[in-house]
Amino acid sequence: PAATPGAAAAATTIAVNGAGTGRTFDGIGAISGGGGNSRLLIDYPPAQRQQILDYLFEPGYGADLQILKVEIGGDTNSTDGAEPSIEHTAGNVQCGTGYEFWLMQQAKALNPNIKLYGLAWGAPGWIGGGDFWSTDTINYLVSWLGCAKADGLTIDYLGGWNERGYNIAWYEQLRSTLNADGYSGVQIVGADSDWSVANDIDADPAFANAVQVIGSHYPCQGDGGPALSCSTTSQATSSGKPLWASENGSQDMDTGAPALIRSIVRGYTDARMTAYLNWPLIAAITPNLPYPTDGMMTAGQPWSGNYSVGESAWATAQVTQFTEPGWQFLDSGSGYLGGAEGNGAYVSLKSTNGSDYSTVIETTTATAAQTVNVNVSGGLSNGTVHVWSTDVNAPSPATALIHSQDITPANGSYSLTVQPGYIYTLTTTTGQGKGTAVSPAPATLGLPYNDSYDQDATGSEPQYLQTMQGAYQVEPCLGGRSGQCVQQLAPTTPIEWQSDSDAYGLIGDTTWSNYTVSSDVYLNQAGTAELFGRANKQDRPQSDQAAYLFRVSDSGAWSIDRSDAVGSITTLASGTVSALGTGRWHTIALNMWGTALTASIDGTTVGSASDGTYQTGQAGLGVVGYQTDQFDNLAVNPLP
C-alpha cells in the first residue's frame, strides 16, 4: 500500500556522505528589531541581564545564536515600539542612542564568532525629503556602520528596507558606496521582502553584483500560521546566491518551537535555504503590547528581574550547539523520513574540519515511532555518536536539550528509534550544554514610582520607558533647569514602517490601578503635550492604544480623553485655562480613582470626568505630533 503521511515509516536510511555536495551553512539567528522588542532588557538588574544574554548568546549554554540581526533605529514604530535613530536631525550623528549597539557588543563578548546584520524598518523624516530610496539613506547607513565600527563592531550583513521591496539603482549605489567607503566586506542582503528580487537579480548582472545574499521573509508559512513546508522559486535557486529565511517566526516562544525547527530543517530540504532568522529575539516588553510572548525568551519585568527561557531557545540549540556558520550541508543526508512530509525531516552538516558531522532530525508531524539507519561515509568520523533530544511538541525544561544516548557505529553504520514530536541531533561534536541560571519570581513594580533622570547619561533611554513613536531620550534640561530631563527628539514625521501616531512612550506596570501620574512638562514648541494613565492593551498600529489621556496645550486648552485600542479618541471633559505658553515649566497631573478621573495643572484642579472603561494600566507621556518638548520628575503615586 502507498505510504500514508503521518503513519510510521518502517525505516529510513540516511546516507551521511562527507564527500557529497551541499550548500554552505550560514547560521541560525534572531532579530532584535522591527521592533522595540528588546527594549526592557537593558534595564534589567546586572545579574539577570547577564543570565538572559547567556541564554541567548553564550556558546554551549542556550540558544547559542550564530547571527544577530538588529534594527537600524528610525524613530518610528516598527511593531512593539520605536527604536531611536543615530541621527534625529540631519548632520547630528549621536552614536550612543538606543540599545542595539550595546546588545551587539554583549553578543560579541560572549561569542566572538557571531555574525551581525543590520536592517532599517524606517528612518528619520529629514532623510531624502521623505524618500527612503535616496542617497541620504545610503549616507545614513554608512554613518550607522561608522557608529558600529567606533564600538569595535564589524557588521557582516546589511539590508535595505524591511518588507518594502527594493529599488535596483539604490542597491547598486549602496554597493558602490560601501566599497568606496571601506565597507567592501559588508555583504548586502536583498531585499528582506519576498523571492521576487531573484527575478531581477537573474536578469540584471549589475544588480546581481550589488546583492550578495537573497533574503526572503516568512518563506515557510502563511500570515502568522505555523510552517509545514518551505518554498522558494527557480529564479532564486538558480541565482547562485545564498538563500535565507531572513525573517521567520512570529510565534509564541513555547508553542512556536515545532514550526521553528521545521522551518530550519525543511528550509534546506525544500528550498535550499542556508540561514534562518527568528522574529523576534526576545519579548522584553510589557504584556499589553502585540506579540508579548514571541521570541526565544520573555523578559518583560526589569523591576523584578523575572524572565523565562522558551522552548524555541532549545529547538534552536538543537542546531546551533552542533554546527558553526561555514559548515557544509550534505544533500545526501537531507530529506524526509520515509520520503513523506508527514513523517518528519532531517538535514546533515559537515564540519569545516572535514571529519565531524551533525544530523538534525525533526519528527514534529509524525504520529508514530520510526527507525532511522545512518550510514556514515566520505571521510567523516566513525567515532562515538552523541544523541541529544528535545520533546518539542510538549514543551518542558525537563525534556529540552537532553543528552539521551551515545552510540558506537559498527562499520560506519548505526540505528536508532525516533519518537514523534521530537528533535534529535546526532553528532560527533562535544561541548554542548544547558544553562542552569534560574529566574527570580515575577513581581509588580511597586508604587510610588518616580524618576528625576538626573543621574542618567545624555542620549540614554529613560529607565523603563518604552517609546512607541518618535524618540524619547535623556538630555540636559531646557528653560534654565539644571540636571537631566526626558526630551522627544524626532522633530518631524519619520519615514514610517507602520502607520503614524503621535510621539509617545509608556512606562510601568500594567496592573497599576488607582494612582496619580504627574510630570513637569516644558513646551519647547507650540502644541499639545499629554500624560497617559491606565494604558492597557495596544493593538497594531500603535495609535490603537487603550488609555486615559490628559492633554494640555500652550494655549491653555486642556482635555481628559479616552483612547481605545481601535484607534479612536473620545473627549470626556475639556476646558481652557490661561495660556501656558512655550519655554516655561509646568506641572501636570492625572488622578484615577475608581471611575473618577481628575486633572490638574500647576497644582490646581482644572476638570474631572467619570469613566469605567479601564481599571488598570501603565503611565505614559507624549506629544500630539512631533514637538521637541521635555518632561521631568515623572511620578506615579498610589491613591489609597
**Contact between 163 and ligand 147 per CB under 6 A:** yes
**Contact between 122 and ligand 147 per CB under 6 A:** no
Please tell me the distance from the alpha carbon of residue 125 to that of residue 279, in angstroms, as a whole number.
26
Binding test (CB under 6 A) with ligand 147, winner from 1, 224, 603, 640:
224
Which range of residues in 92-100, 220-228, 378-386, 484-492 is near ligand 147 by CB under 6 A?
220-228
| Helix, strand, or coil (residue 143) | helix
**Contact between 217 and ligand 147 per CB under 6 A:** yes
Q: Of 90, 247, 118, give the one whose Cα is nearest residue 183.
A: 118
Q: Which is nearer to ligand 147, 83 or 362 (CB)?
A: 83
CA angle 262, 370, 418 (to 5 degrees): 60
Least separation in angstroms between residue 61's CB and ligand 147 is 27
**102 Cβ contact partners less than 8 Å away, ≥ 6 residues apart:** 42
State the helix-helix crossing angle for 100-110 and 135-150, rounded to 10 degrees. 50
Binding test (CB under 6 A) with ligand 147, winner from 17, 32, 77, 78:
78
| Helix, strand, or coil (residue 310) | coil
Binding test (CB under 6 A) with ligand 147, winner from 12, 97, 216, 221:
221
Binding test (CB under 6 A) with ligand 147, winner from 83, 87, 202, 247:
247
Which range of residues in 147-155, 215-223, 259-267, 334-342 is near ligand 147 by CB under 6 A?
215-223
Which range of residues in 221-229, 433-441, 488-496, 628-636 is near ligand 147 by CB under 6 A?
221-229
The three cell numbers of residue 565 are: 485600542
Least separation in angstroms between residue 248's CB and ligand 147 is 8
Least separation in angstroms between residue 454's CB and ligand 147 is 35
Which of positions 537-566 make contact with ligand 147 (CB under 6 A)?
none
Please tell me the distance from the alpha carbon of residue 600 to that of residue 606, in angstroms, as a whole number.
5
**Contact between 162 and ligand 147 per CB under 6 A:** yes
Active site residue 163: yes
Single-letter amino acid, residue 303: W
Please tell me the distance from the alpha carbon of residue 116 to that of residue 331, in angstroms, as a whole number.
27
Q: Which residue is nearest to ligand 147 (CB)?
A: 34
Least separation in angstroms between residue 223's CB and ligand 147 is 4
**Contact between 250 and ligand 147 per CB under 6 A:** yes
Q: Which is nearer to ligand 147, 25 or 291 (CB)?
A: 291
Q: Which is nearer to ligand 147, 120 or 635 (CB)?
A: 120
What are the φ and ψ backbone dihedral angles of 130, each rounded to 5 degrees? 95, 0
Please tell me the distance from the alpha carbon of residue 20 to that of residue 14, in angstroms, as a whole number.
13
The three cell numbers of residue 244 are: 535565507
The tally of CA atoms less than 13 A away on the side-chain side of residue 82 is: 38
**341 Cβ contact partners less than 8 Å away, ≥ 6 residues apart:** 5, 228, 229, 365
Please tell me the distance from the alpha carbon of residue 65 to that of residue 57, in angstroms, as a whole number.
5
Which range of residues in 83-91, 218-226, 439-447, 514-522 is near ligand 147 by CB under 6 A?
218-226
Exposed (0-12), middle (13-18) or buried (19+): which is 333, by Cβ within 10 Å?
buried
Q: Which is nearer to ligand 147, 160 or 305 (CB)?
A: 160
**Contact between 34 and ligand 147 per CB under 6 A:** yes
Which of positions 417-456 make contact with ligand 147 (CB under 6 A)?
none
Please tell me the distance from the alpha carbon of residue 170 to that of residue 139, in angstroms, as a whole number.
12
Which range of residues in 145-153, 166-174, 213-221, 458-466 is near ligand 147 by CB under 6 A?
213-221
The three cell numbers of residue 36 are: 522595540
**Contact between 229 and ligand 147 per CB under 6 A:** no
**Number of residues counted as binding ligand 147 (CB under 6 A):** 15
**Contact between 406 and ligand 147 per CB under 6 A:** no
Active site residue 172: no
Please tell me the distance from the alpha carbon of residue 273 to that of residue 278, in angstroms, as a whole number.
14
State the helix-helix crossing angle for 168-180 and 135-150, rounded to 10 degrees. 40
- For the chain, the residue count is 640
Please tell me the distance from the alpha carbon of residue 400 to that of residue 511, in angstroms, as a whole number.
32
What are the φ and ψ backbone dihedral angles of 301, each rounded to 5 degrees? -135, 75
Least separation in angstroms between residue 29's CB and ligand 147 is 15
Residue indicated by cell numbers 534572531: 30
Binding test (CB under 6 A) with ligand 147, winner from 129, 223, 566, 640:
223
Which range of residues in 8-16, 214-222, 350-358, 438-446 is near ligand 147 by CB under 6 A?
214-222
Q: Which is nearer to ligand 147, 291 or 303 (CB)?
A: 291
**Contact between 263 and ligand 147 per CB under 6 A:** no
Q: Which is nearer to ligand 147, 103 or 636 (CB)?
A: 103
Of 71, 100, 247, 362, the active-site residue reads 247
Q: Which residues bind ligand 147 (CB under 6 A)?
A: 34, 78-79, 162-163, 217-218, 221-224, 247, 250, 279, 291
User: Which active-site residues does the annotation give?
Assistant: 163, 247
